[in-house]
Amino acid sequence: MSQPTPDFSRGAAYVNGTFVPMSEAKIPLGDWGFTRSDVTYDVAHVKHGGFFRLDDHLDRFETSLAGYRLTPPVDRAQMREIVGRCVALSGLREAFVAMLSTRGVPRVFGSRNPHDCDNTFYAYAIPWLDVIKPDVQERGAHLLVASVPRFSSRSLDPTLKNYNWRDLSRGVFEALDSGYDTALLLDDDGFVTEGPGFNVFIVKGDVVTTPDRGALLGITRRSVLELCPELGLEPRIAPVTFDDLMEADEVFTTTTAGGVMPCARVNDRIYGNDRPGEISLRLKALYWQKHAEGWHMTPVNYDDPERPFAAGLTPEGEKRP
């Protein structure tokens, strides 16, 4: 009797060498990726049936793996193939694609030595989602500067993507409790860092600034910095204080799972007409227009999931074949 074809439409995952529906994707309770949050990851997205800046995400993931001293059992080319296959299997033209490596379960029972663990690689593609809901993006997000400070960069390198989110999660509760959509965290010295899963930008005149510290080197952040000149804007990476935030003309956030997301309020400060600012909206429009034009895009071959990046389909935008 033949096996029924798995239903990958709600997401496809790669777990221990096999592809399973997202609902079946699990990790052992004893994996240090869970019991010590000893794991790093990256998240790319697919729009119009193609990955956006896939190799930039793989570059960053490799940097994170090195920082965590994690050696997954697959190489970069295989990871690329696996995430492509997750998308092709799911059939999703708009997706959120995660790749991750955990420390694993020690080979020697009870060992506390990370060298006794076989590191893992997991991946999955799930339907597109926005970190900040579309209707909230439409009216402009309301951010609360949380009282909890971001983990010090001396203890946790924020440029290595990780799940040690306790500070951010506390910030989210604080924001929701006060009727805000989400939180923004300052570091111990009072400088603006980032929010739960997104970078932040302030606009003052034609200068567009994002913090130089305490934050992930976001791929959407980089895209915005690259696109600014096309709109006659000056991109800047610099310290951002709480006062800078309050005195800005506009504020917006950026993330893979949402793109450019304008804000209308931070704490009791209301920007412009309590709506997304003009420059934020122009950057948002340009960001998505670039997607439609195939900028940094790697199309997925949905017809044959075993060859997710069929030869001849990679356009000029992508840096590497």
Question: What residue ranges bind a copy of itself (CB under 8 A)?
Answer: 13, 15, 22-23, 25-30, 33-39, 69, 109-110, 112-115, 122, 124, 126-127, 129-132, 148-152, 154-156, 162-169, 172-173, 176, 182, 188, 196-197
Reference 126, options 272, 257, 314; nearest CA is: 257
DSSP state of 149: P
DSSP state of 186: B
Whichever of 69 and 320 has its CB closer to a copy of itself, that residue is: 69
Whichever of 182 and 209 has its CB closer to a copy of itself, that residue is: 182
Inter-CA distances, 246 with 95, 124, 160, 249, Å:
35, 39, 29, 9
Min separation Cβ 234 and a copy of itself, Å: 32
Whichever of 188 and 206 has its CB closer to a copy of itself, that residue is: 188
Q: How far apart are CA 127 and CA 257, in angstroms?
A: 11
Q: How far apart are CA 170 and CA 202, in angstroms?
A: 24
Whichever of 13 and 245 has its CB closer to a copy of itself, that residue is: 13
Min separation Cβ 163 and a copy of itself, Å: 5
- Do 286 and 231 form a contact (C-beta atoms < 8 A)? yes
Reference 97, options 115, 80, 110, 73; nearest CA is: 80
Whichever of 24 and 306 has its CB closer to a copy of itself, that residue is: 24
Min separation Cβ 28 and a copy of itself, Å: 5
- Do 91 and 127 form a contact (C-beta atoms < 8 A)? no
Whichever of 150 and 284 has its CB closer to a copy of itself, that residue is: 150
Min separation Cβ 303 and a copy of itself, Å: 27
Whichever of 67 and 235 has its CB closer to a copy of itself, that residue is: 67
The strand pair at 39-47 and 95-102 is best described as antiparallel
Region label for 259, one of left (φ > 0), alpha (ψ between -120 and 50) or beta (otherwise): left
Whichever of 162 and 223 has its CB closer to a copy of itself, that residue is: 162
Min separation Cβ 116 and a copy of itself, Å: 11
Q: Which helix (H) or strand (E) holds 282?
A: helix 278-292
Min separation Cβ 316 and a copy of itself, Å: 32
- Strand-pairing partners, residue 10, are none
Min separation Cβ 120 and a copy of itself, Å: 11
Q: How far apart are CA 117 and CA 3, in angstroms?
A: 34
Reference 14, options 176, 123, 166; nearest CA is: 123
Min separation Cβ 271 and a copy of itself, Å: 22
Q: List the strands of the sheet with 18-21, edge to edge.
A: 18-21, 12-15, 122-127, 95-102, 39-47, 50-52, 297-299
Which sign does the torsion angle of CA 177, 181, 185, 186 carry? negative
Whichever of 122 and 271 has its CB closer to a copy of itself, that residue is: 122
Min separation Cβ 80 and a copy of itself, Å: 20
